[in-house]
Amino acid sequence: MELTKKRWGILIASCFINLCVGSIYAWSVFAAPMAKHLSSITGIALTAGSLAIAFVITNSIAPITMISGGRINDMFGPKKVIFVGGLLFGGGMILAGFSNGVGSLVFAYGIVTGLGTGLVYGCTINNSIKFFPDKRGLIGGITTAAYGLSSVIVPPIANVLIINTGVTSAFKIIGIAFIVIVCSASFFIEKCPVNFVPEGWTPPVSNGKLNRNEKDFRGMLTSPKFYVMLAMLTCGAFYGLMCTSQASPVAQKMIGMSTVAATVVVSTLALFNTAGRIIAGYISDKIGRINTLTGAFVLSIVGLICLYFSGQGDVVTFDIGISIVGLCFGAFMGVFPGFTADQFGSKNNGVNYGIMFIGFALGGYFGPTVMTNVFNTDNSYQRAFILAAVIGIVGLLLTFVYRYVNKKDMNTKETISV
C-alpha cells in the first residue's frame, strides 16, 4: 500500500528529470547563434544546417546508453544511473559553451550530452512504467511529455540568455542548472520491485493465465513484430525530428518570420508534442496502441502537406501544419514505451525499449539530414515535407503489416497452447 502511494512521488521526480534532458529539442534556438559564433572563430561561413550534425549525433548516441543503462539499472538501480547521466548531460552542455569549432561542439553536445540523455531517459521512463502496470499508456505519455515540455519552457529562457549573455554563456548556465536539478532529483528515485502489482489492481488474465509475455532482448529480436515496430517508430521519428531540428530556421527562411516569432514556433511545436504524448498515451489505453498509431500517421500526413503548401509564406497554414506534426510526433513518443512493454513484457523493458529506440535514432539521423540536403540542393525546405509525407504513408502501411503479423503470432501461440 505504501509503495502504491509512493510511486506517484517517484513519477513526479522522473518528470522533473525528463524536463531537463528534454532540452535537446530546443536545439534549433541555439543553432543559428552558435553557427554565427563559430563562424567568427573559424573564419568559415557556417549555418544552422551546418551544425545539425550535433543534434543528429545526440539522438543517434542516446540508444547506446539506453540499452547499457537498462543493464546497469538492473545491477545498481536507477538512482545511480540517473545521477551519472545527469553529470554527463549537464557536463556536455557546459562543454558546448567552450566549443571553438564544429568538431568540439559535436563531441560536447552530440556525444557527451547524448550519452547522458540515453542513461537518464531510459531509466526514468521504464522505471515509471514498471510502477504503473495498470496505466502503461498514460504513464508513458506523462513521462515522455515532461521530456517534450522542456522545449516549451527552455527556448524562451535560452533565447533571453543568448541575447543578454551570449550563446556560449547560455550553454554553460543551463548546463550547471541541469546538473543540479537532475542529480538532486535522482535521490527521490527508487527501483521498482520485480512483478510489482499496485494496490487494488488485478493483472489481466488470458486463457486462464496471467497475461505476461516476458521476453529478454534475444527473444524480442527473434520476433517479426519487433522489426515492424522498429520500422514504424523510424517513420514516426523521421518527420518529427526533421521538423524539430530546424523549426526555427524553417520558420525564418521559408515563411519569413522574425527570430522572436520563430522561437514561438519552436515552443508551439514542443507544446503540441507534449500534448500528443499525454493524449495519445491515454487514448491508447482505451482503444489500443496500434489504432492510436494508425491515427497519428494519418494526421501527420495531413500536417506535412500543410507545411508543404505553406511554403509561399502562408503563416496560418504553417502554424496548423507544425502543430499537427508536433501532436503526432508526440503520439509516437508517448505510446511506444508502453507498446514495447505490452508486446515483450515489462521485466526487461529497460533494455528492450533501448533497442527499440534505435528506430528513433534512425529517424533522428535521416530526418534532419534529408532536411539539410534538400535545402542545400533546392535552397528551399518544401520538397523535404513531401518526402516526409511519403515516409508517413509507408508508416501507415506498416500499421496494417503489424496487425497481420500480430494476428499470425497470436494464432501460433493458441495452436501451441492447445
| Residues whose CB is less than 8 angstroms from the CB of residue 81 and which lie 6 or more positions away in sequence, other chains included | 69, 72, 73, 119, 120, 123
Cell, residue 415: 495452436
- Number of other residues whose CB lies within 10 A of the CB of residue 106: 21
- At residue 209, φ and ψ (nearest 5 deg) are -125, 150
pLDDT tens-digit series, residues 238-249: 999 899 878 888
**How confident is the model at residue 34, as a pLDDT?**
93
- At residue 77, φ and ψ (nearest 5 deg) are 90, 155
Residue 188 falls inside a structural domain = yes
**How confident is the model at residue 205, as a pLDDT?**
60
Residue 204 falls inside a structural domain = no
- Number of domains forming the structure of the chain: 1
Q: Which is more confidently placed, 153 or 389? A: 389
Q: Which secondary structure element, helix H or strand E, spans residue 210, and what is its range?
A: strand 209-210
Residue 42 falls inside a structural domain = yes
Burial 118-154, CB ≥16 within 10 A → b, else e: bbbbbbbbbbbbbbbbbbbbbbbbbbbbbbbbbbbbb
Domain residue limits at 367:
2-194+218-411
Instruction: Report, as an integer, the average pLDDT of 75-83.
Output: 87
Residue 210 falls inside a structural domain = no
**How confident is the model at residue 1, as a pLDDT?**
61
**Bridge partners, 209 (sequence order):** 206
Q: Looking up cell 563531441, which residue turns up?
A: 107
CA distance 215 to 230: 16
Confidence of residue 209 (pLDDT cuts 50, 70, 90): very low
CA distance 359 to 357: 5
**Helix segments in 1-51, DSSP class H:** 2-21, 27-42
Residue 360 falls inside a structural domain = yes
Residue 416 falls inside a structural domain = no
Q: Classify residue 312 by its DSSP letter.
A: G
What's the sign of the alpha-carbon dihedral 54, 56, 59, 65? negative
Give percent of the chain with pLDDT exceeding 90: 47
Burial 303-312, CB ≥16 within 10 A → b, else e: bbbbbbebbe
Evaluate whether 230 touches 326 at the Cβ level (below 8 Å): no
Residue 209 falls inside a structural domain = no
Q: Which is more confidently placed, 416 or 272? A: 272
Residue 50 has pLDDT above 90, yes or no: no
**How confident is the model at residue 207, as a pLDDT?**
44
CA distance 189 to 359: 27
**How confident is the model at residue 324, as a pLDDT?**
96
Nearest to 151, CA basis, from 28, 64, 252: 28
Q: Which is more confidently placed, 350 or 254? A: 254
Kindly report the average pLDDT of the chain as a whole number.
Answer: 87
Residue 417 has pLDDT above 60, yes or no: no
| Residues whose CB is less than 8 angstroms from the CB of residue 5 and which lie 6 or more positions away in sequence, other chains included | none
Residue 123 falls inside a structural domain = yes
**Residues in the chain, total:** 418
**How confident is the model at residue 208, as a pLDDT?**
42
- Number of other residues whose CB lies within 10 A of the CB of residue 373: 13
**Helix segments in 135-287, DSSP class H:** 136-165, 167-185, 217-221, 224-245, 247-250, 259-287
Terminal-residue alpha carbon distance, the chain: 38
Nearest to 273, CA basis, from 392, 385, 148, 141: 148
Instruction: Tell me the residue type at 293.
Output: L
Q: Which is more confidently placed, 352 or 76? A: 352
Q: What three-state secondary structure class fits 209? A: strand
Q: Identify the CATH number of the domain in which residue 94 sits.
A: 1.20.1250.20
**How confident is the model at residue 303, as a pLDDT?**
96
**How confident is the model at residue 415, as a pLDDT?**
55
